[in-house]
Amino acid sequence: MTKQEFKASILQGIPSELPSKKTYPEAGNPAPKRKDILSKEEKKLAVQNALRYFPEAWHAELAKEFAEELQTYGRIYMHRFKPSYAMHARPISEYPSKTEQAAAIMLMIQNNLDPAVAQHPEELITYGGNGAVFQNWAQYLLTMKYLAEMTEEQTLHMYSGHPMGLFPSSKEAPRVVVTNGMMIPNYSKPDDWEKFNALGVTQYGQMTAGSYMYIGPQGIVHGTAITVMNAFRKVLEKNDFPKGKVFLTAGLGGMSGAQPKAGNIAECITVCAEVNPEAAKKRHQQGWVDELIEDMDTLVSRTKQAIANNETVSLAYIGNVVEVWERFFEEEIFVHLGSDQTSLHNPWAGGYYPVGLSFDEANTLMVQNPSAFKEKVQESLRRQIDAINKHTEKGTYFFDYGNAFLLEVSRAGGDVMADNGIDFKYPSYVQDILGPMCFDYGFGPFRWVCTSGNPKDLQKTDAIALEVMKNIKAEAPEEIQQQMQDNIKWIAEAEQNKLVVGSQARILYADAEGRSKIAEAFNNAIAEGKISAPVVLGRDHHDVSGTDSPFRETSNIYDGSKFTADMAIHNVIGDSFRGATWVSIHNGGGVGWGEVINGGFGMVLDGSEEASVRLKRMLFYDVNNGISRRSWARNKEALFAIKREMDRTPDLKVTLPHIVESDILDNLF
C-alpha cells in the first residue's frame, strides 16, 4: 500500500462498501475465549450494540457474523473490518492530519497494535490478556478518522474505546480525553467486566494499553531491572554481586516477557517459566531470553551449571512454575530472589494456568467448565505458595511483583498471611523496593517516543538525557545518588541492550527535576533542528502520582488511605489543564479490575515556546501531586522530597503532617 493509499484509508473511516469476510490468520495469537456470561436477550443486545456502527443495509449479514463471533470468542471484535495495511508506527509525516498532535496520537495507537508489540493484535489487546486499545475494529477506524480531521480547537472524547466524538474546545485543551472501565463502584467485580465488555459498553484498558502509551516490553524491563538490582542489594553482602545467583519467576507474556532481559541487565541467572510455548518462543526470537528449555532435568542441570560457572544468563522453561519451585527445592538449588508475574489480575480467563494440565487442556477446561477450572487454579496457587514457603525458610527473598499473586493466594486459602491475620507474610515490591527507594522521592517511569521513526533521533535523545542526568547528579543530595547512578547506567547502556520493539522509544526513571530538564533539552533540540521531528513524552501509569493501587503502587501508604483514589483523579484532571496533549483514567490495571484506579498522559514536544511552557507546568505537577500525597501519609522519603521541592519552588505550598510519638497513642484504647 502506498503512502497516499494509507492516508486515504485512514480518512475513509468505516468503509463505504462492506468488505469481504476475513479468515482468522493462522499465525495469529488469539486471545483466550471469554466466559459465556450473557443471557440470550443480552446476546441480542450485544449484537444490536455492535451494529450501531454500520448502515442498516449491512445489518442482516453482519448480525449473523457478529453473533458467531460472540459465540466463538466471547466478544464481538469485528475481524472483517481490520484494515488491510500493515499495523506499525509510521513516521509522523505519513499520517493525514490537521495538527501534529493528532498525528502523534495516531502513531502511538498503531504502535500499541503492532504485532511485534501487541500480545493479541487481532483482538486489539496489547498486553495482560485483556489490556485493550479498543473493543473492536470499528472503533479503531472511527478514532483514526476523527484524529485525521481534528483541528487544534477540538477534543476527541473516548468512552472505553468508543469515540464519542469531536467536541469544540481550545488550543490549550487536551486533544484527547480517554476513560476506560469507569464503572459505578458496585459494578466493578470481575464478572461485571466480563458482562459489560461482552455487551460492548466498556473495556479494560490496563494501564498504558488503553491510553496509547505502551512502548513494548522496554518499559517493564527497566522497572524490573531496577527492582531486581535493588532486591539483590537487600539480600547480598555489600561487596557481593548477582552473578551466579538465581532469580526464579514466571511469565513471558506482554509485560512479564521483560523479566529475562531485566535479569541479564542485573547480571544474575534468571529462570522464568512460561506455559504458553508461543509466548516463550516469541521472546527467544526477539532476543529477550537466552535459552529455551522444555525438559525439567535439563533445566536443573543447566541451572546448576550456571551457578557453578558464576554466569549471567536467562533460561526460559516451557512448563509450569509450580513444578520448578518444587523440583529446585528437592535438588537443593538455592533461589536468592523469587517472584511471579503471571497475569493473576485475570485468574479465571487465561491469566494463570494451573499445574497438572497442559496449556491446551487448561484452555479447554476454562471455557467448558469454569468452576472446575477455578478449583484447579486455586489448588495450584496453594501448591505454589507451599513450595515458595519452603524456599523462604532457607533464606529466599520472595516479593509480590504487583500482579495480585499474594491476593489470589489468600483468596485460595493458601498459607500466605502474616501472624496478625491481616497482612501478607511477603512484601510487595513497592513496599520494600520501589516505594521507599523511588516513588517517594519522585522517581518513576518517564518515557519518550521519537516520531520520526529514525534511530538516529533516538540516539540523540539518549545522549541529551545522559548529559542532563550527569549534571543533576553532580549537585544531587546523598539520598538520591543511587537512583541517579542506576539510571545513568541504564541510559548509557540502553542502545547496546537492544531494547527497542516497535517505535523508537526510551524509558528511564527520573524525578520532576529530571523530567522537566530532559524535556526542555529535547524541545530545544527540536527547535534547533538537531532532532528531526516532534517527540512524544509520557510515562507508565505505574508511577509516583498516577495510580491508586492498594496492592501495588500505593501499598506503602500506611495512614489508612491506600484504598482511596483521590490522587489518580486529581492527577488526570490536573494534567489536563496544565498542558497534556492527551489524558486518560482507567479502572483496573496490573492487579485487576476493581482493584485500582490509574491515570496517564501524553505530551507532544514540537520545539515551540508553547511546548516549553506546557512541559514545565505539567511535568512538575504530575510528579509532585504524588509526592505530596505520600508525604501526608508520613512517608519519610516523601517528606524529604517535598520539603526540598518547596525550597526550590516558592509558589509550592503543601500541607505537611505533624509526626505523633507512638507512646502518646499506646494506652489510649
| Residues in binding site for NAD(+) | 128-129, 206, 274, 401, 590
**To which residue does cell 514540537 refer?**
606
Q: Which helix (H) or strand (E) holds 230?
A: helix 218-235
531: left (phi over 0), alpha (psi -120 to 50) or beta: beta
Cα distance between residue 261 and residue 257, in whole Å: 8
Residue 438 grid cell = 523511588
Which DSSP symbol is given to 573? H
Cα distance between residue 37 and residue 40, in whole Å: 10
Cα distance between residue 453 and residue 91, in whole Å: 5
Task: Please name the residue ranges forming H helices in 476-511.
Answer: 481-493
User: Could you give the 3-state DSSP secondary structure of residue 617?
Assistant: helix
Report residue 180: phi and psi, to 5°.
-140, 120
Cα distance between residue 92 and residue 207, in whole Å: 24
Residue 20's alpha-carbon distances to 5, 23, 48, 64, 71, in angstroms, are 19, 10, 21, 14, 20
Cα distance between residue 380 and residue 370, in whole Å: 15
Cα distance between residue 434 and residue 298, in whole Å: 35
| 3-state class percentages of the chain: helix first, strand second, coil last, to nearest 5 | 45, 15, 40
Query: Can you say which residues are annotated as belonging to the binding site?
Result: 128-129, 206, 274, 401, 590
Report residue 539: phi and psi, to 5°.
-160, 165
Residue 163's alpha-carbon distances to 134, 139, 144, in angstroms, are 10, 7, 10
Residue 508 grid cell = 528511564
Report residue 528: phi and psi, to 5°.
-85, 0
